[in-house]
Amino acid sequence: MTKTLRGADIVARTLEKAGMHTIFSLSGNHIMSIYDAAIGTKLELLHVRQEAAAVFMASAWARLTGRVGVALVTGGPGHTNAAAALCTPMASETPMILLSGHAATHEIGRGGFQELPQAAMAATVAKDSWTVGRAADLGHDLARAARNAASGRPGPVHLSLPSDVLDAELADEPPLWPEASAFEPAASPLGEAAASAALSAIAAAERPVIVGGPTLCSGPGRAAARKLEDTLNVPVIGTESPRGLNDPALGAIAEVIRQTDLLVLLGKPLDFTLRFGEAPAFDPACKFIVFDPDVELIRRVARDKGERLILSGVATPSASAAELAALGSACDDGAWHAEVRAAVDYRPPDWETTTANGDGALHALDFCRGVREFMAENPDTVLVCDGGEIGQWSQSMLDSERRIINGVAGSIGSAIPFGLAACTVEREAPVIAISGDGAFGYHLAELDTAIRCDLPLIAVVGNDARWNAEHQIQIRDYGENRVHGCELLPTRYDLVAEALGAHGELVTRPGQLPAALARARTSGKPACINVMIEGNPAPIVRR
């Protein structure tokens, strides 16, 4: 006798068979059948407090594992909360799937409960987005979503799952289940001819620079970039910040990149972060090579730069880097490479001695030196940095092979969810998530998730009692007499954390931070270290 099963069972078992066992979720009416179907499978539903956190967690999990992350939320408002967060993994080139519950198909257009045009809404911030129409398609649509998310330029894919599709019963027969190969990303190699032509152009240039995007800033991406740089003796720069050439993590790169005569873009869009490749940020005669998985981005450079685009090809950044390294050899005597590296590594000497004025708050550099001291004792630390001014200082002074930042989209508030996802991946090394007090407030309730799920995140809050990035904009653009609307309270976030059951610490002097971090680590519990800071403007590195 043929066994029957529900559409929800197909979803759960397809994810299980594909090895996609960690699901970041928030429950709701439309998806309770999937919760029921998960019982008895290997699926682990990590239940969060707000849907955007589920997206951020799936995104960070994907960046750290190199696999496709999964977030599962309910329809209507649950979907809108989650979809709004998709801009971050989209800009950060992170492969993930957002599964959203949805009004029943027979209710669409009739005012169904929480009915919204969900697929159309998510399509603006996803690689692809659609509503599944039949239960028999669920497994294959999941495979298609996973393949699409990881192919080409990685990014999020959304599927809406109508409740009647999930509840539908059908016979368990082989055609329901996709082959394992259906989940695998499509290959997008560069090819020997294009790689050889690029290497010839790089060797002929006097001051070439190779630039990659977020894909080359992941752990595997960094390794590929280093190998390419070592092979060619040409600078390879990874960019993942909305500040682009002003990213303090890239030191004084803006001072030297304007000299380059050949800019090679490996999956890096020529966008605002690179000042669109225009003067004065770049030499007006600079030429371009573009290897990108997105044909339209190549066409965009062609329209903008005309004959200065001397070579292009459709390929992923990882494939391009690997093929160039495999075929290449030293293209430079080392002087230009050394000059660019010196600029990227440069930090003002006085940063090592600048300190607070003694009023019970740390300078941003005191903050960074304290975290750096802890990381020197724990070199395997996973580092998460949010946006905002303290995030910029931290990104400039701290680094880890497994660093996650808020990304090119520039949204803030993701640090705690990012850090919690990192804790699900890394069970031994410490995970530190740095944010300002404004950003920390977005997902403070996820400390409850940390406690429930035994995720010993160490959240370090730079507390200056204001939205400091906007405060600095007001001062810079309008004058100190027009500062308003950016004030916050000097809240004792450490006590809030303790009330939730976490470890809390208050830091008001520079020497206290390393010991506070060590105690948080030793506690074995989720922790919040509330560091009172002066509210310094973000750094701009100049030599």
Predicted pLDDT of residue 300: 97
Across the range 288-313, mean pLDDT stands at 97
Confidence at 109, pLDDT banded by 50, 70, 90? confident
Q: Provide the residue count of the chain.
A: 543
Least confident of 173-177, 328-332, 350-354, 481-485: 328-332
Confidence at 331, pLDDT banded by 50, 70, 90? confident
Predicted confidence (pLDDT) per residue in 517-542, tens digit = 999 999 999 999 999 999 999 998 98
Domains of the chain: 4-183 (3.40.50.970), 192-345 (3.40.50.1220), 349-532 (3.40.50.970)
Predicted pLDDT of residue 47: 95
Residue 418 and residue 405 in contact, taking contact as beta carbons nearer than 8 Å: no
Please report which residue ranges of 293-347 form alpha helices under DSSP H. Answer: 295-305, 317-327, 335-345
pLDDT over threshold 90, residue 305:
yes
Predicted pLDDT of residue 401: 87
Percent of the chain with pLDDT over 90: 92
Sheet holding 287-292, edge to edge: 236-238, 208-212, 262-266, 287-292, 309-314
Confidence at 111, pLDDT banded by 50, 70, 90? confident
Confidence at 325, pLDDT banded by 50, 70, 90? very high
Predicted pLDDT of residue 108: 86
Predicted pLDDT of residue 1: 61
Determine the Cα–Cα distance for residues 91 and 125; give it in Å rounded to an integer: 9
Predicted confidence (pLDDT) per residue in 120-178, tens digit = 999 999 999 999 999 999 999 999 999 999 999 999 999 999 999 999 999 999 999 99
Name the phi and psi angles at 131, rounded to 5. Answer: -105, 125
Predicted confidence (pLDDT) per residue in 472-492, tens digit = 999 999 999 999 999 999 999
- Please choose, from the candidates 130, 18, 11, the residue with its C-alpha nearest in 3D space to the C-alpha of residue 72: 11
Predicted confidence (pLDDT) per residue in 248-281, tens digit = 999 999 999 999 999 999 999 999 999 999 999 9
Across the range 96-102, mean pLDDT stands at 98
Confidence at 330, pLDDT banded by 50, 70, 90? confident
Predicted pLDDT of residue 372: 97
Determine the Cα–Cα distance for residues 143 and 132; give it in Å rounded to an integer: 13
Around Cβ 303, how many Cβ atoms within 10 Å? 9
Provide the mean pLDDT of the chain. 95
Contacts of 123 by beta carbon, 8 Å cutoff, 6+ apart: 129, 158
Using a cut of 0.85, tell me whether the model's pTM lies above it: yes
